[in-house]
Structure formats: structure tokens, C-alpha cells
Amino acid sequence: MKKTKQTFNDGDVIFHEGGPSDMAYEIVSGNVAISKKGDDGPIHLATLGKDEIFGEMGVLDQGTRSATAKAVGSITVNAITRKEFLAELQAKPEMALSILSKMAQRLRSTDEKLAHGSSGGDINAAHMLQPLPAGDHDKATGAPVASKGFWSGLLNLSSGPATEIIEIRIAPFAGEDGKAHTRRVVHALEKRKGVRVRALKQPLLVDPDADPRDQEAALQTGARKALAQAGADLLIWGEAPMPGLTLRLRFIPFATWNDTPPGSFGPQTILPLPVEFDGLFAEFLHATALAATVPKTEGKAATLLRDLPLALDAAREALDNLQGDLTSREKGWIFVCFANALTTVAVQRGDIELYRKAAGAYRRCLDAITEDEASYEWAMIRKNLGAVLQAIAERSGDETTLGEAADNYRSALRVLTVADHGLEWAAVQNRLGEVLFRLDFASGDIEMLKHSLSAFQAALQIFTRAKTPMRWADAMNNLAQVTQVLGEQLKNVEALEKAAQACRVVLEVRTKSKTPVLWAATQNNLGSALFLLGKMTKNMAHLQGAAEAFSLSGSFYQSRGMEKMAAVTEKNLRHVNQLLASTQPKGA
């Protein structure tokens, strides 16, 4: 197979998202960063290294590029033309089948990173995490491994992703004892499997007299700049407020979620530790740091999947040894960190029992952190508890738990306001709408459906197509589903027309090239709305539109091996065709 060597300098774009797909690439040396456009700027999907392949998806489907590839440092790649690439596949058809399977996994991973599905139960990266295969453990500690060949790299013939080191940086503490505090935090994390920790040379300065919002903005900006320069994943920033008995640590990841999932560490999440914390609290710090890390690559996600559960087990003992120097509120903060970490593990494993334990941990947090004393922190606990209960209800079908989730979302909305916490307020409104929609299915209460509609409309006050397109599309798709059900129950043609139109505008954002799985789901929703319209009005055009939408989504699901969804869509299409046959004028 003919290959053409090409070189790129640091920051050079190899191809742009939306550009033509005429080449696949094999990395000879250096690294390539893959990213997609997100609501708040580019979303980092992966960093690829030697012998890995990228750009093959567009070459196979002849669509536009679904992501941007950029050189990290000086790199050399082999460029492979579509003709050469396909010729090799035709010579080895079993490889083509494997590639299609791998592509389906990548598509689902990317879709979930960009926007959570309507269930709202799992975080974006959950489905890309795979168990670490036997024999790969040394990769996490930097031990040399054999280089993969071209086809093994393309097809990922190993039984799972190799692990990658989690890079952690510690911002130097300020003050007279700052060096000692910094050394203690570094010492607590160094020499741990899968982690490399370093102290930054320069502190991140935050003006103590500035407005809290300005302080937060300065800290976030400085932290991300430092992480970018170091190529690191997580920065830990801390202070020792008077009287100097405790350290208060905050965790700032380089990568970000497009939507804050349950268990995520927000900018206000604090881990307080005694100034001279011992081994138990070092274990707790390790678990918290891992849980706060947002993985940039599948390899880093594999490291977290392997190490976080073990770290969390080692950290539990610290909860039984909270020292007297910690205030009641500080102990509550520690339980918040534990609950977040436990939720992250529950999401990794999809384990309902772990979700139940996480719910218990969040309830324990509410014993120490009250709405009157710390309203924002209390509201975020309620939000996370609601999300965990929602995940439990979706797995168990328990209506009571679903109602508890709604109650917690409503409690959070007593504190979160559209003026002061716009994005968080809208996110809770969207999740509340999802829960109320499910409760309507369980109870048949049309008033519940109307409240669900109001919640989605509220979320859309903040989630706009211009500023937050993926979140807007998620909420608008939810709105379309509720409007469709209302239209069916009320026999209202106008409502069904609005549902169909909402699906059409969502499809302008959820395109097949950018988010194919979400595109197919919305096509399915459009088909349902048009089917109901056609059934109600006997309009052939609506029925034909429904058949087209179901055909598009069904073909996609079949091509990706998504058998359950393909079967549902095929059943829907049969209903449409039967109605078309009975509606067709005689002799036509």
C-alpha cells in the first residue's frame, strides 16, 4: 500500500471539521490532537500517538470531516489516499467488518461527549471506558511496550485501550508555610500508579480583595493556561485560611464536559484537609484527584476506570477518622467529594447498587450542609442527588424514586436562579422536564406532561442555538417529544405540527456528519410525529415523510449494528407502510 510522508509543525491543522475527506493518516512520530466544536469552544476528544490511525471515517463514508486534527509538536505522518485505503480493505474483507464495528463505538463515544441523551442518567464519557486488558498494566507506569503495526492500530486489535498517565500539577501555596503545604500535597500523590505529579514553579495569584466572580475567573484562566503549557490533566490549587488549621483544595481539570454530569466537580467544590494530614487523608486526596479528572483520551479514561475504584476503597477509612480541627461544614465538604467520587464509579460501571450508595452519601452531606448556611452548595448537592436518583429510577423502573428525583430538582431550583446561575438553572430545568415526562408515562397524568413542557421551555430561555447549540438541541428534542405526546393525547393537529417542526430544526444541529447517533434518534422522533399527523389527517405527505425518516434512522442503526434500535424503527416503518397502503386511493 502506497504511503506519502508529510510533516507538520506544532499547531498546524492537518484537517478541519467540515472539510473534505480524501486521506487517512498513520502517525509516524509525534502526537495529534482530535477535537470537535462545542458550546464553549473546542472539545478535546483524543490525543493520538505513534502508529495510530485517524481520518479513516471520512474516507470510508465520503462525508465531510467530523472533527479537527491538529499537530502537537512537530510530527510526521503517512498520508494514504482513499483509493489505496479501500484497495487494502477489499483485499481483506474481515478487516472492513472490524473497522465498521470500531467506527460505531467511536461514534457513540463522541456523541455522548458532546451531549447527554434524553435519559440524563449517565455521563458523557461513560460508554467509551473499557476494562484494561491483561498485560497492559505496565503502560500506565510508563514501561516500554511494543509498537503496534498499521492494521492493528487501525482496528485496535488489542482487547482494550492502553492506559495513559494522568498528569497532575500542584499550584504553589502562598504564605509563610506555602512551601511546606505544597510539598505535603505533592508527597501525598507522588509514586502512585498511573499518576505523575509535579509542582508548578510559579503560583497562581488571586486577588483576595477582588469580587468573588472576578477571583474565580482569574483562577480558571490561570489554571487552564498552566495546564496547557504543562500538557497536564488536572491542577490542584489551595489555600490555608486563618487560623491556618486546614488546607482547602480545589480541582481544575483541563478538559471539560459539554454538560456537567452527576458526580462532576464544579468550580466551587472544595476538599478541606488538616494542615498536617496523614496517610488516610493522602488516600482520600488521591481518590478525589482521580474523580475530579476529566479524561482527554480513551487511555486516560482506562486509567481512571482501573484506578479510581481501588483508590476510593482505600479512601473510605478517612471518613471514620475525621479530626476535631475540621468544622461541621468542612466535614460536609469531605462527604461531597466522596459522594462525587462514588457517583463517578457508579457511572463507570453502570451499577445500580453503587448509585444507591452514592444517593446515601449525598443525603449524609445534607446533614452537614444546610440551605440556610450554604445555599449554593446545598443546591448543587440536591442537583447531584436528583441525577443519581434519576439514574436509579431509569434502571429500576421505580416511580417513587423518580418522584424523589423531581423533588430534589425542585429544591435546587429554589436556590439556583436564571440571573445568577443561568447554565446550571437551565440544566436542572431540563433534567426536571425529563423526570416529569417519565412520570407522565407512569401515571398518565396530563398535568405532569404540561409541567414537563414548561420545564423544557424554561431551559430554552438559556440554552440557545447560537451560544449552546448542543444543549439547545437536547432540550428542543425533549420539547418535541413532550409536544408530540400532548398532541396525541389531546388529538391536536397543531401540537403535532409543532413537534415535527421542532425535530426538523434540531436536525439542523444534530447532523449525521457531526452527531450521527443523535441524528438518528431525532429522525426517529420526527417519524413518530409525522406518523401521528398522517394518521390524524389522512395526509399522504405526512405519512411519506414518516416513512422517509424511519428509513433513514433504521438504515443507520442497521449499518452500526445497533440491533435493538433497528428493530424498533423497522416496526415503526411497518406501521407507516400499512397505513399508507390503506390510505392510498383505490386504483392509484
Residues 256 and 337 in one domain: no
Distance from C-alpha of 298 to C-alpha of 48, rounded to nearest angstrom = 10
Residues 316 and 192 in one domain: yes
pLDDT at residue number 497: 97
Least confident of 151-165, 449-463, 560-574: 151-165
Structural domain ending residue among the three candidates 415, 447, 479: 447
Burial class of residue 83, CB neighbours in 10 A (0-12, 13-18, 19+): exposed
**Is the model's pTM score more than 0.75?**
no
Yes or no: say if 271 and 259 are a contact pair by the CB < 8 Å rule: no
pLDDT digits (tens, 9 = 90+) for 112-169: 445 443 333 322 222 222 222 223 333 333 333 334 444 334 444 344 568 899 999 9
pLDDT-derived band at 208 (thresholds 50, 70, 90) equals confident
pLDDT digits (tens, 9 = 90+) for 438-449: 998 767 778 889
Residues 374 and 406 in one domain: yes
* Residue among 354, 376, 77 nearest 216 (CA): 376
Least confident of 108-117, 280-289, 325-334: 108-117
pLDDT, average across residues 191-208? 88
Yes or no: say if 210 and 218 are a contact pair by the CB < 8 Å rule: yes
pLDDT at 49 over 70: yes
pLDDT digits (tens, 9 = 90+) for 240-257: 888 778 899 999 998 776
pLDDT-derived band at 585 (thresholds 50, 70, 90) equals low
pLDDT, average across residues 28-33? 86
Instruction: Of 31-40, 117-126, 313-322, 363-372, give the range with the top mean pLDDT.
Output: 363-372
pLDDT at 221 over 90: no
Residues 384 and 348 in one domain: yes
Q: How many CB atoms lie within 10 A of CB 578?
A: 10
Residue bearing cell 469531605: 334
pLDDT, average across residues 73-100? 72
Residue 181 forms part of a structural domain:
yes
The size of the chain, in residues, is 588
pLDDT at residue number 365: 93
pLDDT at residue number 161: 64
Distance from C-alpha of 356 to C-alpha of 375, rounded to nearest angstrom = 24
pLDDT, average across residues 353-357? 93
Yes or no: say if 3 and 154 are a contact pair by the CB < 8 Å rule: no
Q: How many CB atoms lie within 10 A of CB 348?
A: 20
In angstroms, how far is CA 56 from the centroid of its own chain? 24
b/e burial code for range 374-395 (CB count within 10 A of at least 16 → b): bebbbbbbbbbbbbbbbbbbbe
pLDDT, average across residues 22-44? 79
Residues 131 and 225 in one domain: yes
Percent share of the chain, pLDDT over 70: 84
pLDDT at residue number 90: 65
Q: Which residue has the higher pLDDT, 457 or 61?
A: 457
Domain count, the chain: 4
pLDDT at residue number 428: 95
Least confident of 24-33, 134-143, 476-485: 134-143
pLDDT at residue number 298: 85
Residues 493 and 564 in one domain: yes
Percent share of the chain, pLDDT over 90: 49
Least confident of 124-138, 140-154, 174-188, 306-320: 124-138
* Residue among 185, 343, 175, 312 nearest 250 (CA): 185
Structural domain ending residue among the three candidates 389, 421, 447: 447
Q: How many CB atoms lie within 10 A of CB 305?
A: 23
pLDDT at residue number 465: 94
Residues 313 and 333 in one domain: no
Residues 315 and 381 in one domain: no
Structural domain ending residue among the three candidates 261, 295, 323: 323
Residue 115 forms part of a structural domain:
no
Residues 183 and 257 in one domain: yes
Residue 117 forms part of a structural domain:
no
pLDDT digits (tens, 9 = 90+) for 287-300: 999 999 999 888 89
Question: How many Cα atoms are found within 13 Å in the side-chain-facing hemisphere of 341?
Answer: 29
pLDDT-derived band at 107 (thresholds 50, 70, 90) equals low
pLDDT digits (tens, 9 = 90+) for 209-220: 888 778 888 888
CATH number at residue 45: 2.60.120.10
Distance from C-alpha of 574 to C-alpha of 546, rounded to nearest angstrom = 11
pLDDT at residue number 1: 64
pLDDT at 588 over 70: no
* Residue among 255, 41, 276 nearest 128 (CA): 255
Residue 113 forms part of a structural domain:
no
Instruction: Of 257-261, 323-327, 582-586, give the range with the top mean pLDDT.
Output: 323-327
Which residues constitute the domain of residue 550?
463-588
pLDDT at residue number 155: 40
pLDDT at residue number 212: 78
Instruction: Of 16-20, 50-54, 299-303, give the range with the top mean pLDDT.
Output: 299-303
pLDDT digits (tens, 9 = 90+) for 506-564: 999 999 988 899 999 999 999 999 999 999 999 999 999 999 999 999 999 999 888 88
DSSP for 290-338 reads HHH---SSHHHHHHHHHHHHHHHHHHHHHHTT--TTS-HHHHHHHHHHH
pLDDT at 93 over 60: no
Residues 185 and 316 in one domain: yes
Mean confidence (pLDDT) of the chain = 83
Residue 300 forms part of a structural domain:
yes
Asked if residue 144 has a cis previous peptide bond (ω within 30° of 0), the answer is no
